[in-house]
A and B are shown apart, each in its own frame.
Chain A
Amino acid sequence: MTVTDGAITAPEETLALPAGPVIANRPLGVFTRPQGNEGWKSWLFTVDHKRIGVMYGAAAMFFFLVGGAEALFIRLQLATPDGSVIGAGTYNGVFTMHGVTMIFLVAMPMAAAFANYLLPLQIGARDVAFPRLNAFSFWCFLAGGLLLTSSMLIGGWFQNVPDGGWFNYAPNSGVLFSPHKGIDFYAVGLQITGIASLVSSINLIVTVLNMRTKGMSLFRMPVLTWMLLITQFLLLFAIPVITVALFLLMFDRLWDANFFNVAAGADPLLWQHLFWIFGHPEVYILVLPAFGIVSEIIPTFSRKPLFGYHFMVASGIAIGFMGWGVWAHHMFTSGIGPLAVAAFSVSTMFIAVPTGVKILNWLGTMYGGRLRFTTPMLYAVGVVSMFTIGGLSGVTHSIAPSDTQQTDTYYIVAHFHYVIFGGIILGLFGGLHFWWPKIFGYMLDEGWGKAAFWVILIGFNFTFGPMHILGLQGMSRRIATYRADEGFAFWNMVATIGAFVIAIGVAMLLWNIYKSTRDWRRAGRPDVGPDPWDARALEWMTASPTPEHNFDSEIEVEGLDEFWHRKYGKDETGRVVRAAPTSEVAHDGSNTKVHLPSPSYWPIVLGGGILLVGYGLIYNLWLAAAGVVLLVASIYGWILEPPDDPEAAGHDEDGHDDGDGHGDADSNGDSAEAEEEAATVG
Chain B
Amino acid sequence: MSKRPMALVWLSSLLVIAGTIALIVVAIVVDDNHPLSTLSPVGRHGREIAELINPIFIVAGVVFFLVQGAVLALWWRFRVAGSDAGDGEFGYYEDDEFPEQVHGNNRLEVAWTLIPTVLLAVISVFTLIALFALEDVEASDEDMVVTVIGQQWWWEYQYHLDGNTDTAPDFVAANELVIPVGVDVPLDIKSRDVIHAFWIPKLNGKKDAVPGRSHDWVIQAEETGTFRGQCTEFCGLSHGYMKMVAVALTAEEFAEWRDNQITAADMPEEGTAEHAGWEVFSQQCASCHVVNGVTSPANRGGDPESAPDNWDIYGEFNGVYAGTYLETDTLVAGAAPNLTHLMTRGTFAGSIFDLYLNAGAHIPYLELAEKGTLNRGELEAWIYNAPERKPADADNLRGMPARTGLSPDDVDNVVAFLSTLD
Contacts and interface: CB of A to CB of B under 8 A. Distances in A.
Q: Tell whether A and B belong to one assembly.
A: yes
A665 interface: no
Contacts of B211: 171, 262, 268
Contacts of A483: 243, 352
A402 B103 contact: no
B39 to A, nearest CB: 5
A646 interface: no
A342 interface: yes
Residue from A302, A363, A465, A479 with most neighbouring chain B CB atoms (10 Å): A479
Interface string B189-215: 000011101010100111110111101
A475 B91 contact: no
B99 A370 contact: yes
Interface stretch (A151-159, A173-181, A667-675): A173-181
A577 B49 CA distance: 59
Interface string A388-408: 110011011011111111111
B240 A404 contact: no
B75 A404 contact: no
Interface stretch (A52-60, A221-229, A528-536): A528-536
Contacts of B105: 307-308, 364
A497 to B, nearest CB: 14
B99 A345 contact: no
Interface in A532-589: 532-535, 568, 575-578, 581-582
Contact of B104 (A311, A333, A407, A576): A311
Given A335-B215, A469-B28, A363 B74 contact: yes
Interface stretch (B111-119, B154-162, B337-345): B111-119
Given A303-B93, A402-B53, A475-B36, A349 B124 contact: yes
Contacts of A406: 38
Interface residues of A, number: 114
B396 to A, nearest CB: 6
Interface residues of B, number: 102
Interface string B115-131: 01100100110011011
Contacts of B96: 577-578
B46 interface: yes
Contact of A370 (B31, B97, B241): B97
A618 B391 CA distance: 27
Contacts of B120: 349-350, 352-353, 395
Nearest to B201: A474
Given A346-B124, A479-B239, A370 B396 contact: no
B91 A353 contact: no
Contacts of A269: 210, 213
A458 to B, nearest CB: 11
Contact of A169 (B68, B93, B195, B205): B195
B127 A266 contact: no
A389 B91 CA distance: 34
A89 B197 CA distance: 20
B240 A480 contact: yes
B100 interface: yes
Nearest to A360: B112
A369 B78 contact: yes
Interface string A301-317: 11111011111000000
Contacts of A381: 71, 75
B108 A363 contact: no
A404 B52 CA distance: 12
B98 A178 contact: no
Given A353-B120, A469-B28, A176 B328 contact: yes
A399 B102 contact: no
A353 B101 contact: no
B237 A89 contact: yes
A472 B80 contact: no
Contacts of B131: 338, 341-342, 345, 400-401
Residue from B28, B34, B48 with most neighbouring chain A CB atoms (10 Å): B34
Contacts of A532: 86, 91-92
A483 B228 CA distance: 11
B236 A372 contact: no
Interface in A258-288: 262-263, 265-269
Given A333-B206, A474-B37, A478-B234, A349 B123 contact: yes
A6 to B, nearest CB: 19
Given A171-B211, A472-B28, A366 B91 contact: no
Nearest to A582: B91
Interface string B372-396: 0000000000000000000100001
A-B pairs with the 5 shortest C-beta distances? A404-B205, A534-B91, A474-B36, A479-B240, A576-B98
23 contacts: A169-B195, A171-B193, A171-B211, A333-B208, A345-B127, A345-B131, A357-B109, A360-B108, A370-B80, A371-B75, A373-B79, A388-B64, A401-B127, A401-B130, A402-B52, A404-B49, A408-B233, A469-B24, A478-B239, A487-B33, A533-B86, A577-B96, A578-B90
Interface of A: 87-89, 91-92, 163-165, 169, 171-172, 176-179, 262-263, 265-269, 301-305, 307-311, 333-335, 338, 341-342, 345-346, 349-350, 352-353, 356-357, 359-361, 363-364, 366-374, 381, 384-385, 388-389, 392-393, 395-396, 398-409, 443, 446-447, 465, 469, 472-483, 485-487, 491, 531-535, 568, 575-578, 581-582
